């Protein structure tokens, strides 16, 4: 244990405790730390394969829970030496991967030396090397892979960080806070010292050392603090940082304006790195980003990429208050920072662009990613009750549903009162490690709401379903609403939720409603009556998606066509279009449609599409949303058990029919939009979106014509949106233009990792009948590697999300993903575990495929030495 010569070869996560059972951490077992660490001084002697870390901890007994034993978490590291109060200390012991020391007094200084190998760190957690630079990722539990520490978010320390290293290899030396000193050492080394005055948990620590160039700007806060801003990238990439910088400045302004939050240091640094497990990380004063959320220029980034950069830059910046100044007491509270920060970045993006379009996109993400989570074996509340590996809980539930839950508070309180609530929250808990309960209480007190029953949104998993019945008598309409919260693992019985539903009743004759009502459904069944309706109105409910629920209401096709054309809530218009199509496709897949019903259903959809294409009052961005068909994963949610082959076939057939029926409209649209010159304004972006949409519909209806147009769009493209859109359409067609365009794209962007990622994912996500074989071949392409998470996701996430590949009836898609998990797990368990949920959905799939999926999960489960990440996801998926 005290062996200086070797670092443990196995990551601790591959080790099971003595009884062979995985350790389960329970939310209700929380106890305060026995020791606090008000200060830490770190000293790094940097090297790519052996970095020496000296850590000096000032520890103090915690009056809240005093105990003699100081527990310092470790993971895959060994202590070279331990000193207490300046004296060598041998009376310490290991408990699994943790180092324990019994300390007699109230306060001590503990000094520990460790050595880590960044180059061998393929998990990209802790200190790792990426293309010759060194960087850290500590959330959630990566700090313990660098040095021994009470690695839990309720231990807050003031950090002083000194680092020294080769001046040539590491000309830039960064950490959190402010630079306080620097100098030259011997033998071509130099050093720098950083000090962060704000106490923070270890997960927010960061260090970066490498050969980087900075794009610089500055921002003056409203109280007059001048903040130096820098975005560090590899030489050659600096021309692609403008959009990120503009987004950062806009975020800083917006948070002052909308939430009254000001930045609190004299500098704010961002570093972009190519090898990164997630999107980005909010380390105090030193955000570290996946390059894909920083680098953007018109030639290499789509409009969607621009939005993603803006949203993620804002998200990480907003964490400075919602996450850093007020942090989480324990990891069960993750949604405290993530749900709230996602809401904040959504609100910011809505203010920057088209609010209705942003809302539609956010709901689409929720339905595609979170609804399946909520209805599957990995369902968990936004505040989970237990976990084995916290990395598995960075989910769409914690993030996106978490944001929806807080958004409902804004609906209930209104913006002014909600702001009073958040002011109180930041005031009350500044400098603290808080809980979700603290947040809810602050909103209650500040906004003047009673959220007693509303708190169930934090406790209960599963997407509530609301069944709506409408009755009309005399001049009164009565809505009877019934809610059901489905059983989820560990939660068989559910209590009624508080469900705020923005509602309007439209008069058929005038096409108008008499004002919106906020219905708050809080019981299992409840009726609401509205008078003044001489004739039965058309119901528009859950406008703006005011609650993250599934509405089941018996609306006729005729009424849906009416709402799609007349609803003054843009989201509700979109929703009516979606419902129209979902109802049709679900019945078609179930084989419930007679030929006459099929014709009638299509006719209604065709009518709604034609109206949207002709409506001069719509802007193109919104028009583009309205003509997107519901995604396959959302359709799967409506059907259990589902035959993915049938869903694909019916959805494609509807697309083909719309392409044929509206062929003239699509070609006119494609011509009109192709004439709009490139700019980043909404009109030009809308045109680009529709341009590719037109091709998407033409492709199945008139493949030769579509291929010709796609090829022309590709060749004329001045920007990645047009180029990628055209290539996507070509990739799905069996036409000669396909191979030519793919080869051109690969050659044109050789060496640009982010664009080559697109090349992989377009092929893996394509509608081409041979897409599975294409993916299998691409796995052997010289540009493919398992060591870069972006590349792995580009190929295999796109494949797992493509039912034509993943759900291939032979089971070869499932086998391919299972093989990937097994191969990737020893390299990067965190990323490998992300591929388990698609297989875990087997219970929702028709029996033949379900058996194949389950067999693959069992094959993975039989593998000894799985990471804790994969082990947890697989075992839960088999239950």
Q: Closer to Zn ion at the Cβ: 337 or 543?
A: 337
> Which region among 73-81, 213-221, 279-287, 412-420 touches ligand PHE (by CB under 6 A)?
279-287
Residues 6 or more apart whose Cβ sits within 8 Å of residue 436: 333, 335, 336, 382, 383, 458
Report the C-alpha gap between 450 and 460 in whole angstroms.
18
Q: Closer to ligand PHE at the Cβ: 159 or 331?
A: 331
Report in angstroms how near the CB of residue 319 gets to ligand PHE at its nearest. 6
Catalytic residue (choose from 13, 113, 316, 373): 316
Please count the residues of this chain forming the interface with Zn ion, following the rule CB under 5 A.
2
> Is residue 372 a contact partner of residue 425, using CB atoms and an 8 Å limit?
no
Report the C-alpha gap between 831 and 815 in whole angstroms.
18
Report the C-alpha gap between 802 and 505 in whole angstroms.
39
Report in angstroms how near the CB of residue 395 gets to ligand PHE at its nearest. 11
Report in angstroms how near the CB of residue 140 gets to ligand PHE at its nearest. 6
Backbone angles phi, psi at 229, to 5 degrees: -110, 135
Report the C-alpha gap between 398 and 396 in whole angstroms.
6
* Neighbour count for residue 830 (Cβ, 10 Å): 25
Per this entry, what is the length of the chain? 879
Specify the DSSP class assigned to residue 396.
H
Residues 318 to 347 in contact with Zn ion, rule: CB under 5 A: 338, 341
> Which region among 14-22, 171-179, 274-282, 540-548 touches ligand PHE (by CB under 6 A)?
274-282
Q: Closer to Zn ion at the Cβ: 338 or 438?
A: 338
Q: Taking CB within 5 to 8 Å according to partner kind, which of ligand PHE, Zn ion, none is near residue 629? A: none
Q: Closer to ligand PHE at the Cβ: 314 or 479?
A: 314
Q: Which of 144, 284, 315, 723 binds ligand PHE (CB under 6 A)?
A: 315
Q: Closer to ligand PHE at the Cβ: 149 or 562?
A: 149
Residues 6 or more apart whose Cβ sits within 8 Å of residue 312: 279, 280, 289, 293, 345
Report the C-alpha gap between 210 and 165 in whole angstroms.
10
Backbone angles phi, psi at 123, to 5 degrees: -75, -15
Report in angstroms how near the CB of residue 830 gets to ligand PHE at its nearest. 8
Backbone angles phi, psi at 97, to 5 degrees: -90, -5
Report in angstroms how near the CB of residue 341 gets to Zn ion at its nearest. 5
3-state helix, strand, coil in the chain (%, to 5): 45, 20, 35
Residues 107 to 166 in contact with ligand PHE, rule: CB under 6 A: 137, 139
> Which region among 272-280, 696-704, 802-810, 854-862 touches ligand PHE (by CB under 6 A)?
272-280
Q: Closer to ligand PHE at the Cβ: 291 or 540?
A: 291
- Residue 281 binds to ligand PHE (criterion: CB under 6 A): yes
Q: Taking CB within 5 to 8 Å according to partner kind, which of ligand PHE, Zn ion, none is near residue 173? A: none
Report the C-alpha gap between 183 and 190 in whole angstroms.
6
Q: Which of 13, 196, 282, 869 binds ligand PHE (CB under 6 A)?
A: 282
Specify the DSSP class assigned to residue 524.
S
Quick note: the x/- pattern for ligand PHE over 322-351, rule CB under 6 A, is ----------------x-------------
Q: Which residues of 289-303 are buried (b: 16+ CB within 10 A; e: fewer)?
A: bbbbbbbbbbebbbb
Q: Taking CB within 5 to 8 Å according to partner kind, which of ligand PHE, Zn ion, none is near residue 141? A: none
Q: Closer to ligand PHE at the Cβ: 136 or 557?
A: 136
Q: Closer to Zn ion at the Cβ: 125 or 341?
A: 341
Quick note: the x/- pattern for Zn ion over 286-325, rule CB under 5 A, is ----------------------------------------
* Neighbour count for residue 91 (Cβ, 10 Å): 9
Beta bridge partners of 159: 40, 196
Q: Closer to ligand PHE at the Cβ: 369 or 818?
A: 369
DSSP H helices in 512-631: 557-566, 570-589, 595-614, 620-626
Indicate the residue whose CB is closest to ligand PHE.
278
Quick note: the x/- pattern for ligand PHE over 381-410, rule CB under 6 A, is -------------x----------------
Report the C-alpha gap between 70 and 111 in whole angstroms.
13
> Is residue 606 a contact partner of residue 662, using CB atoms and an 8 Å limit?
yes
> Which region among 79-87, 311-319, 687-695, 789-797 touches ligand PHE (by CB under 6 A)?
311-319
To the query of whether residue 316 is one of the catalytic residues in this protein, the response is: yes
Strand order in the sheet with 525-530: 525-530, 476-484, 465-473, 550-552
Please count the residues of this chain forming the interface with ligand PHE, following the rule CB under 6 A.
12
Report in angstroms how near the CB of residue 320 gets to ligand PHE at its nearest. 11
Report in angstroms how near the CB of residue 214 gets to ligand PHE at its nearest. 22
* Neighbour count for residue 81 (Cβ, 10 Å): 14
Q: Taking CB within 5 to 8 Å according to partner kind, which of Zn ion, ligand PHE, none is near residue 287? A: none
- Residue 549 binds to ligand PHE (criterion: CB under 6 A): no
Pairing status of strand 107-116 against strand 98-102 = unpaired
> Is residue 413 a contact partner of residue 443, using CB atoms and an 8 Å limit?
yes
Q: Closer to ligand PHE at the Cβ: 277 or 661?
A: 277
Report the C-alpha gap between 679 and 683 in whole angstroms.
9
Q: Taking CB within 5 to 8 Å according to partner kind, which of ligand PHE, Zn ion, none is near residue 759? A: none
**DSSP helix/strand/coil, 416:** helix
> Which region among 186-194, 315-323, 614-622, 844-852 touches ligand PHE (by CB under 6 A)?
315-323
Q: Closer to ligand PHE at the Cβ: 126 or 725?
A: 126
> Is residue 360 a contact partner of residue 571, using CB atoms and an 8 Å limit?
yes
Report in angstroms how near the CB of residue 798 gets to Zn ion at its nearest. 23
Report the C-alpha gap between 318 and 340 in whole angstroms.
9
- Residue 237 binds to ligand PHE (criterion: CB under 6 A): no
Q: Taking CB within 5 to 8 Å according to partner kind, which of Zn ion, ligand PHE, none is near residue 137? A: ligand PHE
Report in angstroms how near the CB of residue 311 gets to ligand PHE at its nearest. 11
Backbone angles phi, psi at 672, to 5 degrees: -60, -50
Strand order in the sheet with 107-116: 87-88, 81-84, 107-116, 51-61, 35-45, 157-166, 189-200, 178-184
> Is residue 337 a contact partner of residue 318, using CB atoms and an 8 Å limit?
no
Report in angstroms how near the CB of residue 711 gets to Zn ion at its nearest. 41
Report in angstroms how near the CB of residue 335 gets to ligand PHE at its nearest. 11
CA 218 to chain CA centroid, nearest Å: 29
Q: Which residues bind to Zn ion, rule: CB under 5 A?
A: 338, 341
Active-site residue set = 316
Q: Which residues bind to ligand PHE, rule: CB under 6 A?
A: 137, 139, 277-278, 280-282, 315-316, 319, 338, 394
């Amino acid at each position: 244990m005290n062996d200086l010569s070797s670092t443990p070869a196995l990551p601790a996560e591959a080790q099971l405790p003595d009884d062979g059972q995985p350790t389960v951490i329970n939310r209700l077992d929380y106890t305060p730390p026995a020791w606090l660490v008000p200060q830490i001084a770190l000293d790094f002697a940097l090297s790519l394969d052996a970095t020496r870390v000296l850590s000096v901890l000032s520890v103090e007994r915690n009056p809240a829970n005093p105990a003699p034993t100081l527990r310092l978490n470790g993971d895959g590291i060994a202590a070279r030496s331990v000193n207490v109060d300046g004296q060598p200390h041998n009376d310490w012991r290991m408990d699994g991967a943790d180092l324990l020391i019994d300390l007699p007094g109230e306060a001590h200084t503990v000094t520990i030396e460790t050595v880590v190998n960044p180059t061998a760190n393929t998990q990209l957690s802790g200190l790792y090397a990426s293309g010759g630079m060194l960087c850290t990722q500590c959330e959630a539990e990566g700090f313990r892979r660098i040095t021994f520490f009470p690695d839990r978010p309720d231990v807050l320390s003031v950090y002083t960080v000194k680092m020294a290293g080769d001046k040539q290899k590491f000309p830039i030396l960064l950490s959190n806070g402010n630079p306080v000193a620097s100098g030259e050492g011997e033998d071509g080394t130099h050093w720098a010292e950083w000090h962060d005055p704000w106490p923070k948990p270890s997960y927010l620590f960061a260090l970066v050392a490498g050969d980087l160039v900075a794009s610089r700007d500055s921002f003056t806060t409203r109280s007059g603090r001048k903040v130096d801003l820098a975005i560090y990238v590899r030489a050659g990439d600096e021309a692609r940082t403008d959009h990120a910088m503009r987004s950062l400045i806009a975020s800083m302004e917006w948070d002052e304006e909308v939430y009254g939050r000001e930045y609190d240091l004299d500098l704010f640094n961002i570093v972009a790195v190519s090898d990164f497990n997630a999107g980005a990380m909010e380390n105090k004063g030193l955000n570290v980003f996946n390059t894909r959320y920083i680098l953007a220029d018109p030639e290499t980034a789509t409009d969607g990429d621009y939005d993603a950069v803006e949203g993620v830059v804002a998200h990480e910046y907003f964490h400075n208050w919602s996450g850093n100044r007020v942090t989480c007491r324990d990891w069960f509270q993750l949604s405290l920072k993530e749900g709230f920060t996602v809401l904040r970045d959504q609100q910011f993006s809505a203010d920057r662009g088209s609010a209705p379009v942003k809302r539609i996109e956010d709901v689409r993400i929720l339905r595609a990613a979170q609804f399946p989570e909520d209805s599957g074996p990995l369902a968990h509340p936004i505040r989970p009750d237990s976990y084995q590996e916290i990395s598995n809980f960075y989910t769409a539930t914690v993030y996106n549903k978490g944001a929806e839950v807080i958004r409902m508070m804004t609906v209930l309180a209104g913006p002014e009162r909600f702001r009073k609530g958040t002011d109180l929250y930041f005031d009350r808990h500044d400098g603290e490690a808080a809980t979700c309960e603290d947040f809810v209480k602050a909103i209650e007190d500040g906004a003047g709401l009673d959220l007693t029953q509303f708190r169930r949104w934090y406790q209960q998993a599963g997407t509530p379903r609301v069944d709506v019945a409408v009755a009309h008598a005399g001049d009164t309409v009565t809505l009877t609403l019934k809610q059901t919260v489905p059983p989820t693992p560990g939660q068989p019985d559910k209590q009624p939720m508080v469900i705020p539903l923005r509602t309007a009743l439209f008069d058929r004759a005038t096409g108008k409603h008499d004002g919106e009502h906020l219905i708050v459904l809080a019981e299992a069944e409840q009726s609401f009556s509205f008078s003044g309706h001489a004739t039965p109105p058309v119901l528009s409910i859950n406008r703006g998606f005011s609650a993250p629920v599934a509405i089941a209401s018996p609306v006729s096709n005729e009424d849906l066509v009416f709402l799609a054309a007349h609803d003054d809530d843009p989201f509700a218009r979109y929703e009516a279009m979606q419902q129209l199509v979902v109802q049709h496709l679900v019945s078609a897949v179930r084989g419930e449609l007679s030929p006459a019903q099929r014709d009638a259903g299509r006719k209604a959809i065709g009518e709604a599409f034609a109206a949207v294409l002709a409506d001069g009052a719509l802007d193109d961005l919104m028009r583009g949303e309205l003509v997107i068909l519901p995604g396959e994963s959302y359709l799967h949610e409506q059907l259990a058990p589902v035959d993915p082959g049938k869903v694909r076939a019916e959805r494609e057939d509807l697309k083909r029919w719309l392409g044929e029926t509206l062929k003239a409209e699509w070609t006119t649209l494609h011509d009109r939009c192709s004439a709009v010159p490139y700019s980043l304004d909404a009109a030009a972006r809308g045109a680009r979106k529709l341009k590719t949409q037109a091709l998407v519909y033409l492709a199945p209806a008139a493949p030769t014509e579509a291929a010709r147009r796609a090829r022309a769009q590709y060749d004329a493209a001045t920007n990645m949106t047009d180029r990628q859109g055209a290539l996507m359409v070509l990739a799905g067609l069996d036409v000669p233009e396909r191979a030519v365009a793919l080869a051109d794209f690969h050659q044109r962007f050789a060496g640009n990792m982010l664009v080559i990622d697109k090349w992989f994912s377009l092929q893996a996500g394509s509608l081409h009948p041979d897409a599975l074989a294409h993916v299998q071949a691409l796995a052997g392409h010289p540009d493919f590697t398992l060591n870069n998470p972006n590349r792995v996701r580009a190929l295999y996430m796109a494949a797992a999300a493509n039912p034509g590949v993943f759900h291939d009836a032979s089971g070869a898609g499932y086998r391919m993903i299972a093989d990937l998990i097994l191969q990737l797990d020893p390299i990067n368990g965190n990323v490998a575990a992300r591929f388990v949920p698609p297989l875990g959905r087997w219970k929702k799939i028709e029996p033949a495929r379900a058996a194949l999926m389950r067999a693959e999960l069992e094959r993975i489960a039989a593998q000894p030495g799985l990471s804790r990440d994969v082990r947890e996801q697989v075992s839960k998926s088999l239950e």
